[in-house]
Each structure stands twice: as structure tokens, then as C-alpha cells.
Structure 1
């Protein structure tokens, strides 16, 4: 099993908003066994998936930057603690969506399995994500 780290949540840069990206420092990515673009699982009140990317500048130890979509899917807010590990996933073969305000809700996938959606967004069953 992959190593699990716990970090405090910070707001992500606006350029990452809506892309399901988690920004972590290089040391944390190494500890997780991740490279840029790998999928990680975040666990707050709920579990969520996101693509991990290295922070561009030197960052404080103990923090990760997470966008609002991923925070909402994980049931966390800025300042909360979140558990992070490298995710095990499969490529999605079929997705059924329906309108839900300004986002689309992923309704039907293979139950209890992690998914990888097109447009480089990682999602699980019942996650919200932007499509288009």
C-alpha cells in the first residue's frame, strides 16, 4: 500500500481552479512515490481524487494547495487537515452525466472503483466535475 501523508489545506492559485489539481512540494511527492500528473486520493470527510503537480515555487512544509472542486468533493475547507496517498485507478469506459447547476454530476460508473475522466480530471462515482 502507498504511504499516507497528512497536510493542511491551502487555497490553490486561480489558474488551477476547476482542473482537479493538488499542488504539493517536491519532498511530499517523492514520499508518496508520485510524479507530476499522477493521481492521488485525498481523504477528508469523504474521499476524492485529483491530479498532483509540483508547486512552482518553494513552498512551506506541511501544506498542499487544493482547488475548490476537489475540496468540495472531499468535504474539506482551507485550514483543514487532509490525508493523501497515491491512488489506484482504472481508465473509465463509460460515463453517464446529467446537468446539475453549473457542473455535471457523474452518475453511473463501475461501483466502488476509482476513475480517470477525459480532459485530465480524476473523479470517483458521485464526484462533481466541470465538463467541457
Structure 2
């Protein structure tokens, strides 16, 4: 499965905070095979998941991922750290 390394940046808009949103460049979205609203896996010291949304126009080409403090904490990354990003694999539930 295709993965990329992106530098962690702070969520720019308050509306993104606490909603489990990661913003990445649409070029990167195409590269890893995701579309808006898909779930991605973010791996720093640990792994976590987030919904992907397109980057702001001024962030295009910067190879950054904008995530809030909750997501950074969950994946064990700080601002300016590099994380691996890939499309999350869906697995069939064994029970609910």
C-alpha cells in the first residue's frame, strides 16, 4: 500500500479542531488513493486514524498534514515532526 511522509502542522481553522480531520494536499490524496471523507492512517510513534479533507490553497505543494492536538497526541507526534500517512485498510468485524 502506498504511503507518504508529511510534516505535521497545526490545524488552521477552529472548525477542524475536535472533528478528527486531517488536511492534506489533493496531489497527496491522489497519490495514496483517497478521496474527501475517506479514513487515513497516521503513524508517528503510534498509529491513529482521521478523516481526510483537502488542504487549504496556500498549503498546496508544502507536503504538510494539518491535524489538531488530539490527533497529534494520539499518533505521538509534535508540530514539525514527520509522520507516515496511508489509506486505512477496512477489516471485516468479527463481532459488534
Give TM-score scaled by structure 2 length: 0.88
Which structure exhibits the higher relative contact order, with contacts defined as CA atoms closer than 8 Å and separated by 6 or more residues? 2
Counterpart contact for 1:10–1:66, Cα < 8 Å: yes
Equivalence for 2:26: 26
Partner deviation per Cα, 1:8-38 (whole Å, 9 max, x = no partner): 0000122100011100011000001010000
Shift of 1:46: 0.2
TM-score in terms of structure 1 length: 0.65
Q: Choose between structure 1 and 2: higher helix proportion.
A: 2
> What is the alpha-carbon root mean square deviation over aligned residues?
1.7
Shift, 1:90, TM fit: 4.7
* 1:35 has 2:54 as partner: no
Shift of 1:91: 7.9
- Tell me, in whole angstroms, the C-alpha distance in 1 between the residues paired with 2:72 and 2:90: 20
Partner Cα separation in structure 1 for residue 10 and residue 58 of structure 2 = 16
Corresponding pairs, count: 93
Off by >2 Å, runs of 4+ in structure 1: 89-94
Larger radius of gyration: 1
Structure 2: runs of 5 or more not aligned: none
- CA distance in structure 1 between the aligned counterparts of 2:91 and 2:20, rounded to whole angstroms: 17
Gaps of 5+ in 1: 95-132
Change beyond 3 A, Cα 1:70–1:81: same
Greater strand percent: which structure?
A: 1
Equivalents in 2 of 1:40, 1:91: separation in Å? 17
Matched, 1:5 2:12: no
